[in-house]
Amino acid sequence: MDVFQKAFDYTVADELKARGLYPYFRAIETGNDTEVYINKKKMLMLGSNSYMGLTFNEITIKAAIEGVKKHGTGCAGSRFLNGTLDLHEDLELKLANFMNRESALLFSTGLLTNQGILSTLIGRNDIVYIDKSDHASIIDGVRLSFSKVIKFKHNDMDDLKKHLANSSSKAGKLIVVDGVFSMEGDLADLPNIVELAKTYGARVMVDEAHAVGVLGKNGRGASEHFGLEEEISIIMATFSKSFATIGGFAASSGKVIDYLKHRSRALIFTASLPPAVLGAAEAALTIIQNEPERRKRLFQIAQKMRLGFTEIGYDVGATVTPIVPLIIGDMDKCFMLWKEVTENGIFVNPVVPPGVPEGQSLIRTSYIATHTDEQLDFALDVFKKVGKKLGLI
């Protein structure tokens, strides 16, 4: 059998395109801001993860340009060999200080950050417990670790406790959760997870990708939000959300970070982050620290939209963050809603299985601190009109 046969037999994308319901790989012709242009049409952006509104910010853009002027366009190697710049070390120090950790380590993408941490720190004699709604990069990372992987029901502490209680007391144990779950917008139950970890001798890792910059008094994420930073052994976060660029980092004790530096294949065998990215990320970090009003505004926006959608008649689930899902259930109806709001000038993302469980297809809306009330009211009006037209509300 031809190894490529699975590709030749794949027809889902073509079927969606034929029905005018294909929502992916849309080319944006302008900067990723609250409004964008697609096919020369202005669209209200409600599908971005740029929570702080810094991807098209003059300060972050200038910092990226300055990085290129000083160091060029790339590093031409991995951090382990010729790819470490003073910019990398400066940013790692600032990130460690910001996160109240001994050390931090940069990776070239968020996915590589989780893969690099998990495939290095856990092994064949260890057990890792992951929430069924954890990000795909966590799932890939634990697969590469060759450890025993146990999935517990989403935010179900009784299920996690059962698995911990039934596990060997001699095995190393790590619980890994998203601080903010990227599709549902709800928070991990960190207080109870930490208590269970203490009871059963496990460590806890939190993926703060959608939480850093957003949650906590200082923007350090869900761990800070719950006052549990000292109880979390290691965190990761990405630059592709609040930090307005690409990349990721791990933050932990000095010994753990030093071990990752010398043992993580995802770090050693990947080209390092280029100067433009480092400049933008450092500038974004400074803004996150110095402008807490952005977080305040972002949560005002999120609250307005949660209440607005609920009053219209949509189910937004358990979200308490700037990720506000509209849970539709049926995949076909979800695509129809996407098509209608797109035609009315709103950019959103439909999420269907396997991105969510079967029967839980949703429209994922997400918000930026620089959205205006006029833009938000326009979105609510469109969703109300379209929802009634399709019989969804």
Nearest to 305 by CA among 387, 379, 370: 379
**Cβ-proximal residues to 94 (8 Å cutoff; 6+ apart), any chain:** 282, 285
Q: Are 326 and 314 in contact (CB under 8 A)?
A: yes
Q: What is the largest CA-CA distance in the chain?
A: 61
Helix/strand/coil (H/E/C) assignment for every residue in 241-274: CCCCCCCEEEEECHHHHHHHHHHCHHHHCCECCC
Residue 88 annotated as catalytic? no
Using a 10 angstrom Cβ sphere, with 0-12 exposed, 13-18 middle and 19 or more buried, the burial of residue 230 is exposed
Residue 198 annotated as catalytic? no
The residues that bridge with 248 in the sheet, in sequence order, are 107, 238
Which entry of 163, 210, 225, 339 is annotated as an active-site residue?
Answer: 210
Q: Report whether the peptide linkage leading into residue 23 is cis, meaning its omega lies within 30 degrees of zero.
A: no
User: How far apart, in whole angstroms, are the C-alpha atoms of residue 348 and residue 312?
Assistant: 18
Amino acid code (one letter) for 161: K
DSSP-derived letter for residue 38 is E
Nearest to 83 by CA among 112, 107, 114: 107
Q: Are strands 346-347 and 323-329 parallel, antiparallel or unpaired?
A: unpaired
In the chain, the DSSP E strands lie at 35-38, 41-45, 103-107, 126-131, 148-152, 172-178, 203-207, 234-238, 248-252, 323-329, 346-347, 349-351, 361-366
Which entry of 173, 225, 241, 339 is annotated as an active-site residue?
Answer: 241
User: How far apart, in whole angstroms, are the C-alpha atoms of residue 232 and residue 177?
Assistant: 11
User: How far apart, in whole angstroms, are the C-alpha atoms of residue 46 and residue 323?
Assistant: 10
Which entry of 137, 182, 242, 361 is annotated as an active-site residue?
Answer: 182
Residue 241 annotated as catalytic? yes
Active site amino acids: 182, 210, 241
